[in-house]
């Protein structure tokens, strides 16, 4: 049996990405073990998802800490205490201070519901619609000290349609998030990701599987 990479998943809300990671592990498509699910919010539904699968959970409320650094150090201490090797941010609505980023340098992943570097920050599906882009998507990246800026691991692209609502586009993107996040973690678990500067190189990349997308489609 392959080694199970010990990971910690940080959430603040619904935890559908967490669920996709749990499901991939249970389906034996992801050689990882979730050592801890940590939330900064006690009412995050992702905590229930974790408990339903017997996963250890912790709530650490940022409001009881006097500084961002003190909070981050407490989180890092919990993660190190559980033997976590890779930190997976899955809807964790907090910016990380250098205390956190340096403790887990190039060992923190985040998922963002846009094709970075376009549309960092919040409300990005609305920004994509307002901008009139033809494609949107999601990005898994390593976390550095800038928000939504770190080296890109994997992206998925979805079409944007003229009658899209923010909700419809968000749902189309979220479905792809659930497929690429477990994939990115598995690539890490297999030791196939190498960060050089701001680029991530993937061992054994299959270029044949790549596609060109055109939207609206070209007419024959
Ligand atoms: C996702 O849209 C993710 O891209 C963003 O936060 C949201 C988390 O959703 N970082 P969920 O809690 O995984 O359902």
Summarize the confidence of residues 140-165 as an average pLDDT: 97
- The pLDDT of residue 100 is 98
Mutate to test the pocket of ligand 1, among 92, 136, 174 (most ligand atoms within 8 A of CB): 174
Ligand 1 pocket, residues with Cβ under 6 angstroms: 11, 13-17, 46, 90-91, 111-113, 174, 177
**CA-to-CA distance for 35 and 82, rounded, in angstroms?**
6
The secondary structure of 30-97 as a DSSP string is S-EEEEEEEESSTT-HHHHHHHHTT--EEE--GGGSSSHHHHHHHHHHHHHHTT-SEEEESS---PPP
Residue 220 lies in a domain: no
Q: What is the pLDDT of residues 185-217, one digit of tens each?
A: 999 999 999 999 999 999 999 899 899 999 999
Is 75 a member of any domain?
A: yes
Domain around 112: 5-202
Report pLDDT digits (tens) over 103-150.
999 999 999 999 999 999 999 999 999 999 999 999 999 999 999 999
Calculate mean pLDDT across residues 23-47.
98
* CATH at 77: 3.40.50.170
Percent of the chain residues topping a pLDDT of 90? 95
Identify the residue whose tokens are 């992702």: 46
Instruction: Please check whether residue 47 lies inside any domain of the structure.
Output: yes
Contacts of 22 (CB under 8 A, 6+ apart): 34, 49, 50, 53, 55
Residue 158, Cβ neighbours under 10 Å: how many? 20
| Within a domain: 212 | no
| Share of residues in the chain with pLDDT > 70 (%) | 100
Give 44-99 pLDDT, tens digit per residue: 999 999 999 999 999 999 999 999 999 999 999 999 999 999 999 999 999 999 99
Q: Among 113, 153, 166, 172, name the best residue to mutate to test ligand 1's pocket (greatest count of ligand atoms within 8 A of Cβ).
A: 113
For 126-220, where are the E strands, in sequence order? 135-142, 152-159, 193-196, 199-202
> Quick one: pLDDT band at residue 2, thresholds 50, 70, 90?
confident
Q: Which residues contact 192 (CB under 8 A, 6 or more apart)?
A: 202, 203, 204
- Residue at 214 is within a domain: no
Q: Give the Å distance between the CA of 110 and the centre of ligand 1.
A: 10
Whether 9 and 21 have beta carbons less than 8 Å apart is answered as yes
Give the model's pLDDT for residue 1. 67
Please report whether residue 97 resides in a domain: yes
Whether residue 164 lies inside any domain: the answer is: yes
144 part of a folded domain: yes
Which residues are the active-site residues? 112
Structural domains in the chain (count): 1
Whether residue 52 has a cis bond before it, omega within 30° of 0: no
């Amino acid at each position: 049996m392959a080694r199970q990479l010990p990971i910690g998943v940080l959430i603040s809300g619904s935890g559908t990405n967490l669920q996709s990671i749990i499901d991939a592990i249970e389906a034996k498509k992801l050689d990882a073990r979730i050592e801890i699910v940590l939330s900064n919010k006690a009412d995050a539904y992702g905590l229930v998802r974790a408990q339903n699968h017997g996963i250890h959970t912790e709530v650490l409320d940022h409001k009881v800490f006097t500084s961002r650094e003190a909070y981050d150090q407490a989180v890092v201490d919990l993660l190190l205490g559980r033997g976590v090797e890779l930190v997976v941010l899955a809807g964790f609505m907090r910016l990380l201070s250098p205390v956190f980023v340096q403790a887990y340098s190039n060992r923190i992943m985040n998922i963002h519901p846009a094709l970075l570097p376009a549309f960092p920050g919040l409300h990005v599906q609305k920004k994509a619609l307002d901008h009139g882009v033809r494609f949107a998507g999601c990005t898994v990246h390593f976390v550095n000290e800038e928000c939504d800026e770190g080296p890109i691991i994997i992206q998925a692209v979805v079409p944007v349609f003229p009658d899209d609502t923010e909700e419809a586009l968000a749902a189309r993107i979220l479905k792809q998030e659930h497929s690429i996040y477990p994939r990115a973690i598995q690539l890490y678990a297999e030791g196939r990701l190498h960060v050089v500067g701001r680029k991530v190189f993937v061992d054994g990349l299959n270029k044949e599987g790549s596609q060109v997308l055109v939207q609206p489609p070209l007419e024959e």
